[in-house]
Amino acid sequence: MLQGVSESLLLQKNRADETIFTLGADIERFKEEYATAIRDIDSIKMEMDSVHSKVCRAEHLLSSLSNEEKRWKERESKFDSHLKTLAGDSLLAAAFVTYGPMFDYQTRIRLKRDWEKIALNLGLPHRPSLIGNDLLIGYLSKAAQRLEWQTSFELPTDSLSVSEKVYIC
């Protein structure tokens, strides 16, 4: 009887050992599958971060391009308006450069007003702001040029001095 019980217990032990061995193998396999799944998840997270970064850059680029498009449209409309007044502006600038130097400052101002009235009477499109406030100087010279005159030649910033320099150049 003890021997039968011993054999029965040995058989149960062997079955339990087989079960433990099988379960241990399953646990190892599950650990490997889990590690593979974690690596895949990390890989997907890194790819998501990369895609997110690319999407953010693309959105920023689109925003920048949209702003650039607005700026170009504004410049285009300004260009169209400048193109319409190009002949009149050029004629007034040519008169300013040709006849202005031989007169004093007050006479120049009066001449510019007279030339603008003549241009209006002739229906010659021009920028009205070109004559007033000495903006004609801005039409004939660049801001960087005027700044260089101020620094290099210690030129005063009053319109008389600047207009004299425009005549010289």
> What's the CATH number where 43 sits?
1.20.920.20
Range of the domain at 164: 2-168
Round to whole Å and give the CA distance between 97 and 11: 119
pLDDT in tens, the chain (169 residues): 778 778 888 888 889 889 999 989 999 999 999 999 999 999 999 999 999 999 999 999 999 999 999 999 999 988 888 899 888 888 888 888 888 888 888 888 888 888 888 988 999 998 876 655 466 777 788 888 888 888 888 878 777 777 777 777 7
Q: What angle do CA 27, 19, 33 make, to 5 degrees?
A: 15
Say what the pLDDT of residue 133 is: 47
How many distinct structural domains can be found in the chain?
Answer: 1
Note the pLDDT of residue 109. Answer: 82
| Cα–Cα dist 17/23, whole Å | 10
Dihedral pair phi/psi, residue 127, rounded to 5°: -80, 120
> Is 119:88 a contact under the CB 8 Å cutoff?
yes
Distance set, CA 9 to CA 3, 14, 68 (Å) = 10, 9, 86
The reported pTM is: 0.51
The pLDDT, as a whole number, for residue 161 is 78
Lookup result for tokens 């620094």: 151
